[in-house]
Amino acid sequence: MLKTIGLLSDSHGQAETTLRAVKLLVKNGAQLLIHLGDLESMEVLTALAVDLDGQGRLSPPVHLVFGNVDADKDLLSDFARTLGIAVNDPVGRLEVAGKTLVFQHGDSKAWMKKALSEGVDYLCHGHTHVPRDERIGRTRVINPGALFRAQKHTVAILEVPEDRLQLLAVPEE
């Protein structure tokens, strides 16, 4: 049963950093990856669907939404789908271990308000480049931080049944 989610955001074209982030998330038990937007390149998409060990062991399933700097969404969507990545733009919604998780980039306050008004269990977003873990009503609002333009590059592991969030620093090259 799916229960551990790896969250990452704001790659801004940094494929090598994204690859290190994916490997870190998988090492820490991620069974599903969600990228919260601002990918900016096909190389980042390739890093998300990487062959982890050179023997065909691919990263876990990947979902994504686009961010405000993802200019050619059609081209990126087509390429993502050829890699087996699910595109949920502008907002994704998943049921995981009996909980509702909504994810979007974070630049649309209307989508944020809608998810909060519904009282979903988790609302995950990027955009601000700042980690966040806050409860608003019954909703846990999570931002894993960023893989670019951040003092420290971070991702997050969410263990849904335990409602446990772990922020992880992505190692430098």
Average the pLDDT over each of 56-70, 90-104, 110-124, 152-166 and give the range with the smallest value.
56-70
pLDDT in tens, 132-154: 999 999 999 999 999 999 989 99
| C-beta neighbour count of 33 within 10 angstroms | 23
Judge contact between 121 and 101, C-beta under 8 A.
Answer: yes
Residue among 144, 49, 158, 18 nearest 101 (CA): 158
pLDDT given at position 39: 97
Mean residue pLDDT across the chain: 93
> What is the C-alpha to C-alpha distance for residues 18 and 20, in angstroms, rounded to an integer?
5
Residue among 12, 25, 24, 7 nearest 102 (CA): 7
Q: How many CA atoms lie within 13 A of 172 on its CB side?
A: 3
> What is the C-alpha to C-alpha distance for residues 118 and 20, in angstroms, rounded to an integer?
35
pLDDT given at position 55: 53
pTM for the whole thing? 0.95
pLDDT given at position 173: 77
pLDDT in tens, 11-69: 999 999 999 999 999 999 999 999 999 999 999 999 998 766 555 556 789 999 999 99
Give the pairing of strands 91-96 and 99-104.
antiparallel
pLDDT given at position 52: 63
Any residues with CB less than 8 A from the CB of 162 and at least 6 apart, and which? none
Q: Is the pLDDT of residue 106 over 90?
A: yes
Phi, psi of 35 (to 5 degrees): -100, 130
Residues in the chain, overall count: 173
Judge contact between 115 and 122, C-beta under 8 A.
Answer: no
Which residue ranges form the domains of the chain, and what is each CATH number?
4-169 (3.60.21.10)
